[in-house]
């Protein structure tokens, strides 16, 4: 009979003496404990290790323990029970953490026996969740969660779908997610083609294939994307750029689910889901006479619109951190993190290129920056911190410091969507202290 595995703990503590004492004691008590001295290191480990509990100091060298707790929730990572070690008169801060979902706290100096009992009880009441299956989540924003819920309803029914949104918002990613949901783990083809990238003379052969000798250079029979996607999903991107003369043939193929190869005579049945996407206003194209009305109604059976990235700020940092992990693994380097200033810079930028631009921004920073923590200049070549006032226009040193504080608090509140407790955690102060500063600086709370 295999022995029961030891409870696995995560310790986040920068004090060497305290850390060594806790590691030694908990190992003597039969725990498997991993010690991290920085919050960023713990953040990466908690997302993949499956701990029974976390013991974390609040004051840490890179960012506070309560910010670590908040960022885990922001990252859609369900953290294990957190027990905080607190001191320096920050009981009120610890109480606010309990309200935010922390399991418990102890104050310095604490009784080590009492701490072991608390942790043992937490481990009895919590079993680490198994690793989450690979998925393609669309983000944390309510708008994208609604899109994901819509896709789940459509996965087993919709055979035709129209996705709209500006260039770079992730339309192909949404199409891929619907395909994965519909296939439910079965291996099925997903074929994507950009209708605007194919010349008018070749698009019919690209879509429907051709027989040998159908035209000069056709040395052998070739299947088109309709046949390649048989049994799966065909993604027709930039459908608005489809040549007008080709639209009627596409409509016939979509209605009949049968195609005829160029140079052929026999109709070939195809069974597939067709997802179309465009960044254009197809209704306006219909009115202008450049897009067939019957094809418009055929592809617009179900319409999913993807909002701009700047209209869903909750997703900006979530995707930025996801891209950081992806590029760190791809290039085999140390995992990167974003400084608070870098997070503010990302949230303040309007992202005209949407997710595609954000991905390129993070990739460039990972390639060019050698530091583990990215700063705003690493992300934006022409970055300028507009939160800092012009010293010549402010006046005295006290006035300058007051204006800096006001702008930084306003930026943090915007980053936290007006949530006072989250903003206080990011700022490293208590909720009461933040309220007092807001009152003194004339900052109004969001309603």
Exposure string over 328-337, b if 16+ CB within 10 A, otherwise e:
beeeeeeebb
Enumerate the β-bridge partners of residue 267. 260
Alpha helices in 185-339, H assignment, sequence order: 203-208, 225-228, 244-256, 282-287, 293-299, 314-331
pLDDT reading at 137 higher than 90: no
All CATH 1.10.10 domain ranges in the chain, comma separated? 391-441
Q: For residues 227 and 283, what is the distance between their CA atoms, to the nearest angstrom?
A: 29
All CATH 1.10.8.60 domain ranges in the chain, comma separated? 310-346+353-379
The dotted CATH code for 310-346+353-379 is 1.10.8.60
The dotted CATH code for 8-125 is 3.40.50.2300
From residue 86, give the alpha-carbon distance in Å to each of 83, 115, 379.
10, 13, 35
Q: Does domain 391-441 have CATH number 1.10.10?
A: yes
φ and ψ at residue 11, rounded to 5 degrees: -105, 130
Tell me how crowded residue 289 is: count the other CB atoms within 10 A of its CB: 9
Q: For residues 372 and 369, what is the distance between their CA atoms, to the nearest angstrom?
A: 8
The whole-number average pLDDT for the span 57-61 is: 86
Phi-psi region of 34 (alpha: psi -120 to 50; beta: other; left: phi over 0): beta
**Number of residues that make up the chain:** 447
Q: Residue 300: which pLDDT band, with cuts at 50, 70 and 90? A: very high
Helix, coil or strand: residue 417: coil
pLDDT reading at 189 higher than 90: yes
pLDDT, one tens digit per residue, over 65-82 is: 888 887 777 665 667 899
- Least confident range of 86-95, 167-176, 209-218, 430-439: 86-95
All CATH 3.40.50.300 domain ranges in the chain, comma separated? 142-305
Please report the pLDDT score of residue 110 as a whole number.
Answer: 84
| 124-138, 209-223, 261-275: which is most confident | 261-275
Please report the pLDDT score of residue 184 as a whole number.
Answer: 79
The whole-number average pLDDT for the span 357-366 is: 92
pLDDT reading at 387 higher than 60: no
All CATH 3.40.50.2300 domain ranges in the chain, comma separated? 8-125
Please report the pLDDT score of residue 390 as a whole number.
Answer: 54
In the sheet with 104-107, reading across from the earlier edge strand, the strands are 32-36, 8-12, 53-57, 82-86, 104-107
The third-level CATH classification (topology) of the domain covering 142-305 is: Rossmann fold (3.40.50)
- Least confident range of 54-58, 134-138, 336-340: 134-138
């Amino acid at each position: 009979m295999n022995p029961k595995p030891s409870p696995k703990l995560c310790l986040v503590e920068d004090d060497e003496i305290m850390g060594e004492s806790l590691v030694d004691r908990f190992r003597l008590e039969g725990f498997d404990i991993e010690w991290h001295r920085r919050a960023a290191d713990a953040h990466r480990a908690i997302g993949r290790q499956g701990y029974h509990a976390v013991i974390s100091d609040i004051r840490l060298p890179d960012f506070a323990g309560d910010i670590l707790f908040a960022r885990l929730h922001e990252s859609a990572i369900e953290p294990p029970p957190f027990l905080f070690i607190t001191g320096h008169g920050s009981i009120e801060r610890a109480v606010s953490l309990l309200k935010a979902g922390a399991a418990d706290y102890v104050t310095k100096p604490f009784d080590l026996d009492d701490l072991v009992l608390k942790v043992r009880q937490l481990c009895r009441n919590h079993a680490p969740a198994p690793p989450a299956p690979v998925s393609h989540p669309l983000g944390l924003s309510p708008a994208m969660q609604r899109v994901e819920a819509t896709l789940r309803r459509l996965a087993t029914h919709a055979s035709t779908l129209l996705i709209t949104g500006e260039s770079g918002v992730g339309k192909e990613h949404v199409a891929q997610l619907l395909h994965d949901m519909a296939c439910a783990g079965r291996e099925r083809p997903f074929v994507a083609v950009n209708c605007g990238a194919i010349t008018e003379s070749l698009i019919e052969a690209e879509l429907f294939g051709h027989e040998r000798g159908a035209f000069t250079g056709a040395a052998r029979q070739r299947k088109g994307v309709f046949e390649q996607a048989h049994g799966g999903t065909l993604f027709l991107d930039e459908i608005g750029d489809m040549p007008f003369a080709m639209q009627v043939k596409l409509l016939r193929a979509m209605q009949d689910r049968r195609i005829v190869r160029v140079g052929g005579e026999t109709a070939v049945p195809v069974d597939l889901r067709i997802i179309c996407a465009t960044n254009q206003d197809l209704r306006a194209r219909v009115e202008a006479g450049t897009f067939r009305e019957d094809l418009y109604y055929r592809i617009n059976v179900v319409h999913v619109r993807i909002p701009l990235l700047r209209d869903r700020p909750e997703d900006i940092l979530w995707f930025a951190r996801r891209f950081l992990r992806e590029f760190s693994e791809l290039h085999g380097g140390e995992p990167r993190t974003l400084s608070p200033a870098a997070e503010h810079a990302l949230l303040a930028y309007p992202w005209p290129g949407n997710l595609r631009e954000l991905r390129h921004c993070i990739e460039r920073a990972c390639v060019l920056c050698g530091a583990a923590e990215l700063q705003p200049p690493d992300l934006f070549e022409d970055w300028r911190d507009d939160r800092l006032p012009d010293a010549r226009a402010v006046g005295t040193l006290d006035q300058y410091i007051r204006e800096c504080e006001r702008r930084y608090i306003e930026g943090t509140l915007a980053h936290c969507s007006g949530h006072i407790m989250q903003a206080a955690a990011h700022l490293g102060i208590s909720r009461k202290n933040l309220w007092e500063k807001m009152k003194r600086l004339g900052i109004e709370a969001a309603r």
